[in-house]
């Protein structure tokens, strides 16, 4: 009896030890075994059933005052609510599938028309859903909303005003302008040069001499920049109107608080931008100075892989990182939930989108044909893994992108430890430095474009030339240099995020800093870092950025000591010093639990020692193995402006590799 009690006590001590201290798990979710090919062709959305369910829900809820709640009616309300969620998941899935087809076809007219139709339906029907759910929130069945969407969901819907026709028209116009931007960047605009009108296609077919070709090419580039800049001004005015209708002075504040639900402010971001210029820029310039163009070209030759070969190269890392992630990767591949091969018509972009009707996601990427395709896939799979395990319906899906970009960028950094085996020496180190450079560029360009866009939206009366001057001035502050006499830089129009996802870019900076923090933990204590990463990805974007990093024990980058500390650690790493990641790893509560567990184990060991000696010197005790712990998982490709800006220490060795705008979520 005593031996049995001692064994139980020891078992409890082991279960309570550090190996089991972090508790995380992916939420249960259904993933039908459906191939991407079987999801096609994409068709329009029949809203008949959804509208009928919404109307019936409103009627049922309006007939029942707060003091009436019978079981039969409750079951009907529950069924209608679930039908509405499923219909909206289907609409979202069709819209996302149509966006994939739009990008794969290079913005073909038919694909463009379907995407605009589905996007307009999403705006209108989401608004209609919230109106109906507002009636449900005022009924005896409001608790069903809180149970599914989270505490406070019903309260937030009470008195929902809904979109006016004018507001809905603004959203539709915004979508049309974004598609106009895509066409301008992909196809250019006609320009007058050398006595006639030219298009890019006509120039290629004209067979002109080199001097004429150069002169017309410059005119076409200038025309494209000017057309895109003028379109941007229209977007700024339109979005300013949206923000003011919502009660905000400017769109920058509106985007931070409403569009991205950030738990940091524009003022916080301004302080972070100054810290990035002071602490991060010198380290990126150092990497630039120490990197050779010849080595990078050799790495690119060694890493020329087609899509399936890229998947083969990444799979062992994912499977070793975590068994569940490995299963997710295999599911993605088995069902063809990706398009990463070269396509002549493809728009130059890369992203991951949710397919909620199938409990899944999809990766789209236009490849470079070099090492960046590996980092892009790892980056996007970080998004895919999080999205795949998210159980939220589209109607309630959170959008804390700063958290999602940690999932992707941290995984990219961790993958650099595999580069030596993939490419051999010294190219593993070249790959690592390239990815590090990209991460630092995410921080710097994230801050640059945030500062640029905030200024544009806070002063919506600026002209295109004023924006070009502003961008040059800010670029110089972030380390770009220009030829003597250069006064403007219009290349900001090449960054699609300025048009498609305004005020989004700072999320790359915040998440990249946290990804560095997590990578340092990985270099110091890999098993713990993997646990933190997996716990973070299991949050499914349910917490805003600062709350999420605090939850898993990463440092607050808005603390004035954090960025200098990260820079100091990185500088030591580049000097060849071992990384010791101080400043915590897991949340304080978990660390306290571990400390308690260690004390508990020590007491148990002492108790066992004395009792075993007391019972019998000859009794043999079998040793119990410690419980096995879990195995110790798109920034994506760097955006280079097409000159005139280069880093001030010389030509950027990565610029020649870039063929597309920056990554997207």
Peptide bond into 70 cis (omega under 30): no
| Backbone phi, psi, residue 338, to 5° | -160, 155
Confidence of residue 163 (pLDDT cuts 50, 70, 90): confident
Nearest partner of 636 among 368, 449, 305, judged by Cα: 368
Q: How far apart are the first and last CA of the chain?
A: 60
Pick from 107, 141, 163: which residue ends a domain? 163
Give yes or no: residues 45 and 8 share one domain.
no
Confidence of residue 582 (pLDDT cuts 50, 70, 90): low
Give yes or no: residues 16 and 138 share one domain.
no
Pick from 163, 191, 217: which residue ends a domain? 163
Q: How many CB atoms lie within 10 A of CB 122?
A: 20
Nearest partner of 637 among 463, 315, 409, judged by Cα: 409
Nearest partner of 107 among 366, 381, 387, 335, judged by Cα: 366
Give yes or no: residues 296 and 385 share one domain.
yes
Give yes or no: residues 8 and 87 share one domain.
no
Question: Average pLDDT over the chain, rounded to whole?
Answer: 83
Residue 533 tokens read as 């990463």
What lies within 8 Å, CB to CB, of 99 at 6+ separation is 115, 353
DSSP per position, 32-57: ----GGGG-S------HHHHHHHHHH
Task: Give the count of domains, the chain.
Answer: 3
Q: Is the pLDDT of residue 161 over 50?
A: yes
- At 178 the pLDDT is 94
- At 21 the pLDDT is 36
- Please state, in angstroms and rounded to a whole number, the distance separating the CA atoms of residues 556 and 559: 6
Average pLDDT over residues 347-361: 93
Residue 134 tokens read as 């507002």
| Backbone phi, psi, residue 650, to 5° | 135, -175
Find out whether 337 and 329 touch, Cβ atoms under 8 Å: no
- Please state, in angstroms and rounded to a whole number, the distance separating the CA atoms of residues 507 and 123: 24
Nearest partner of 358 among 34, 609, 94, 599, judged by Cα: 34
Nearest partner of 81 among 122, 121, 30, 132, judged by Cα: 132
Angle at CA 77, nearest 5°, toward 75 and 81?
115
Give yes or no: residues 519 and 611 share one domain.
no
- At 542 the pLDDT is 74
Give yes or no: residues 145 and 12 share one domain.
no
- At 26 the pLDDT is 62
Is 363 domain-assigned? yes
- Please state, in angstroms and rounded to a whole number, the distance separating the CA atoms of residues 547 and 536: 11
pLDDT in tens, 50-64: 999 999 999 999 886
User: Across the strands, what pairs with 351?
Assistant: 364
Angle between helices 266-275 and 506-524 (to 10 degrees): 60
Confidence of residue 343 (pLDDT cuts 50, 70, 90): very high
Q: Which of 325-334, 579-588, 600-609 has the lowest mean pLDDT?
A: 600-609
Find out whether 376 and 636 touch, Cβ atoms under 8 Å: yes
Q: How many CB atoms lie within 10 A of CB 309?
A: 13
Is 131 domain-assigned? yes
Find out whether 644 and 283 touch, Cβ atoms under 8 Å: no
- At 128 the pLDDT is 95
Q: Is the pLDDT of residue 9 over 50?
A: no
Give yes or no: residues 554 and 429 share one domain.
yes
- Please state, in angstroms and rounded to a whole number, the distance separating the CA atoms of residues 554 and 519: 11
pLDDT in tens, 113-128: 999 999 999 999 999 9
With 0-12 / 13-18 / 19 or more C-beta atoms within 10 angstroms meaning exposed / middle / buried, residue 634 is buried
pLDDT in tens, 610-663: 333 332 322 222 222 222 221 222 222 222 222 333 323 333 333 333 333 322
What lies within 8 Å, CB to CB, of 453 at 6+ separation is 252, 498, 502, 503, 505
Average pLDDT over residues 264-283: 97
Is 509 domain-assigned? yes
CATH code, 388: 1.10.1370.30
Distance of CA 442 to the CA centre of its chain: 12
Give yes or no: residues 78 and 147 share one domain.
yes
Residue 510: which domain range?
A: 276-449+503-584+640-657
Give yes or no: residues 381 and 443 share one domain.
yes
Give yes or no: residues 282 and 367 share one domain.
yes
Pick from 163, 194, 229: which residue ends a domain? 163
Is 208 domain-assigned? no
- Please state, in angstroms and rounded to a whole number, the distance separating the CA atoms of residues 359 and 357: 6
- Please state, in angstroms and rounded to a whole number, the distance separating the CA atoms of residues 540 and 530: 16
């Amino acid at each position: 009896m005593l031996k049995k009690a001692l064994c139980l006590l020891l078992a409890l001590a082991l279960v309570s030890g550090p190996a089991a201290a972090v508790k995380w798990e992916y939420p249960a979710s259904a993933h039908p075994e459906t191939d991407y090919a079987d999801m096609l062709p994409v068709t329009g959305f029949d809203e008949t059933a959804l509208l009928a369910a919404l109307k019936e829900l409103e009627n049922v809820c309006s007939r029942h005052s707060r003091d009436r709640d019978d079981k039969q009616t409750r079951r009907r309300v529950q069924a209608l609510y679930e039908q509405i969620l499923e219909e909206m998941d289907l609409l979202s899935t069709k819209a996302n599938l149509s966006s994939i087809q739009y990008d794969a076809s290079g913005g073909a007219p038919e694909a463009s028309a379907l995407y605009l139709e589905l996007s307009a339906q999403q705006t209108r029907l989401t608004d209609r859903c919230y109106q109906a759910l507002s009636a449900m929130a005022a009924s005896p069945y409001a608790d069903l909303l809180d149970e599914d969407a989270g505490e406070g969901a019903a309260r937030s819907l009470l008195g929902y005003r809904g979109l006016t026709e004018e507001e809905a028209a603004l959203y539709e116009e915004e979508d049309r302008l974004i598609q106009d931007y895509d066409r301008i960047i992909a196809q250019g605009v006609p320009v007058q040069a050398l006595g006639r009108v030219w298009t890019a296609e006509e120039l290629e077919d004209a067979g002109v001499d080199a001097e004429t070709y150069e002169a017309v090419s410059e005119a076409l580039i200038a025309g494209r920049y000017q057309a895109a800049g003028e379109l941007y001004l229209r977007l700024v005015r339109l979005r300013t109107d949206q923000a003011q209708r919502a009660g905000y002075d400017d769109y920058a504040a509106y985007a931070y608080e409403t569009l991205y639900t950030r738990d940091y402010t524009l003022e916080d971001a301004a302080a972070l931008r100054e810290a990035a210029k002071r602490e991060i820029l010198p380290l990126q310039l150092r990497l630039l100075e120490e990197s050779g163009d010849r080595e990078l070209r050799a790495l690119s030759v060694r890493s020329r892989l087609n899509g399936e070969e890229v998947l083969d190269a990444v799979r062992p890392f994912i499977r070793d990182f975590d068994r569940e992630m490995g299963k997710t990767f295999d599911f993605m591949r088995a069902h063809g939930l990706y398009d990463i091969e070269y396509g002549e018509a493809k728009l130059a972009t890369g992203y991951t989108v949710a397919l909620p009707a199938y409990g899944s996601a999809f990766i789209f990427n236009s490849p470079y044909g070099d090492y960046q395709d590996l980092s892009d896939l790892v980056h996007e799979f970080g998004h895919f893994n999080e999205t795949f395990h998210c159980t939220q319906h589209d109607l309630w899906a959170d959008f804390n992108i700063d958290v999602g970009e940690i999932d992707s960028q941290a995984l990219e950094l961790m993958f650099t430890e595999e580069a030596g085996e993939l490419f051999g020496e010294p190219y593993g180190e070249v790959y690592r430095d390239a990815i590090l450079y990209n991460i630092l560029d995410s921080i710097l360009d994230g801050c640059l474009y945030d500062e640029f866009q905030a200024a544009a939206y806070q002063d919506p009366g600026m002209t295109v030339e004023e924006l070009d001057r502003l961008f040059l001035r800010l670029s110089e502050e972030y380390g770009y240099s220009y030829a003597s006499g250069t006064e403007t830089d219009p290349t900001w129009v090449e960054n699609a995020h300025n048009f498609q996802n305004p005020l989004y870019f700072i999320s790359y900076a915040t998440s990249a800093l946290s990804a560095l923090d997590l990578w340092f933990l990985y270099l110091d204590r890999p098993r713990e870092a993997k646990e933190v990463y997996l716990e973070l990805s299991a949050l499914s974007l349910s917490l805003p950025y600062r709350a999420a990093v605090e939850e898993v024990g990463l440092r607050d980058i808005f603390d004035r000591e954090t960025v200098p500390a990260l820079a100091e650690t990185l500088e030591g790493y580049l000097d060849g010093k071992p990384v010791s990641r101080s400043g915590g790893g897991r949340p304080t509560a978990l660390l306290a639990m571990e400390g308690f567990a260690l004390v508990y184990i020590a007491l148990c060991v002492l108790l066992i020692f004395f009792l075993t000696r007391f019972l019998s010197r000859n009794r043999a005790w079998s040793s119990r193995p410690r419980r096995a712990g879990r195995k110790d998982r798109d920034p994506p490709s760097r955006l280079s402006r097409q000159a005139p800006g280069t880093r001030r220490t010389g030509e950027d060795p990565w610029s020649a590799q870039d063929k597309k705008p920056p990554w997207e979520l």
